[in-house]
Chain A
């Protein structure tokens, strides 16, 4: 009973907070709502005993990425953004299109085949602790995807350094 109630709360809160993020006029308020949203997502992970993922969600998304968002928003000139008219004249077409696309998604929902059930149910994770389970899988079975993802991130870092670096006079 309690898990379902919790899930319902988090699901509704996540939808409501996402709406709040995109409807606020002030971008700083949007970012703050997004912060609360990330907390709810982390709590959703906790209901599945995925505690490591929940902590990483807060540290990486709330602690690092969203702060960078906030920096960018703070550096922009807010005054113009707040007063400007926010919708283009074709907004009705946009609403119609999005309704049509979500209708297509809903219709195809029933024909999506579900994958085979894995070994890691919340109870198994609770007995093994999530950090251990995740670490073992990541460094044995999924080592290659993990390494490839690391290399892609490294490329992004090198690219950022190259872009930001001042040209030395030679």
Chain B
């Protein structure tokens, strides 16, 4: 037994030696830097997710003349931590008739799809985990994968409420994905690139360093589609609590429920980031803020996230056929019009 262990150790040592002697130390350092970047982005985004739930409850509370969370810490500031501890230690209940493998991986797919999109987001000049040439397409691809988490959760729970919620949600996400993709085509045409860093840099020549003025039509459709993609009010039919209890994640509890919850909020922050980068000029602002290169991006993201809260407190839920008619008959033709106008202006100038 002993000499097997020493053999394995020797083999590992030789492998390491081979790797180092081949002069690939730089590669390892690069991998280390990438891992550090990923850790930084995940830590920052997860903190934002936790406090997005807190500020949502606070903001909507005050809009409805309530106080919102007040008990845990001053003004309830520690509420997200208490929520997390509660969800983490709750019992993980799995329905007896559930399709177990799919039930297990559905929340993981939802979180994976939301998190991996963060890899191509440029937070400030030069800081992006993966500077892909097709960054925008990558985000669209990942958001279409997110639909699988929802459908699989709905189906594998073996409950009619989950199933109906899953079907509604996937149909909605697929329909509005088209509007979202087409609304971003205008931005891509103006910037001449699918790389998000290039898109931000291309906006510097425009008023306020933003595309929102020439692309106001695209921005409007993008924001509507972003609400539908993230299943937020007024398009939160998949979770319509008066009809479907909670939609596709009715049967989930404890940490698995928390994963779905996190995926929804990461999706919301991701849409805010995408809107800020594609239409509001990303990290550029009217003047430079010293030492904090991502300050303007944060301000813009917070504004868009606040818009999500504001709309939720203001607008009632749509009916399902109205939602589909809005997506297919108004939003998609508007984006096509936007593409034609952008193309004509681009040819003329």
Contacts and interface: CB of A to CB of B under 8 A. Distances in A.
A binds B: yes
Contact of B155 (A62, A64, A74): A74
| Chain B interface mostly | helix
Contacts of B155: 28, 74
Contacts of A32: 102, 148, 152
Interface string A12-40: 00000000000000101100100100000
Interface residues of B, number: 24
Question: How many A residues touch the partner, as a band?
Answer: 20 to 34
Interface string B111-146: 000000000000000000000111001101100110
Contacts of B181: 59
Contacts of B144: 58-59, 62-64, 67
B66 to A, nearest CB: 40
A56 B141 CA distance: 8
Contact of A131 (B133, B138, B167, B174): B133
A63 B133 contact: no
Interface string A124-153: 000001110000000000000000000000
B134 A58 contact: no
Contacts, number: 61
Contacts of A29: 102
Given A32-B152, A64-B144, A51 B132 contact: yes
A10 interface: no
Interface of B: 99, 102, 132-134, 137-138, 140-141, 144-145, 147-148, 151-152, 155, 163, 167, 170-171, 174, 177, 181, 194
Interface of A: 26, 28-29, 32, 35, 51-52, 55-56, 58-59, 62-64, 67, 70-71, 74, 129-131
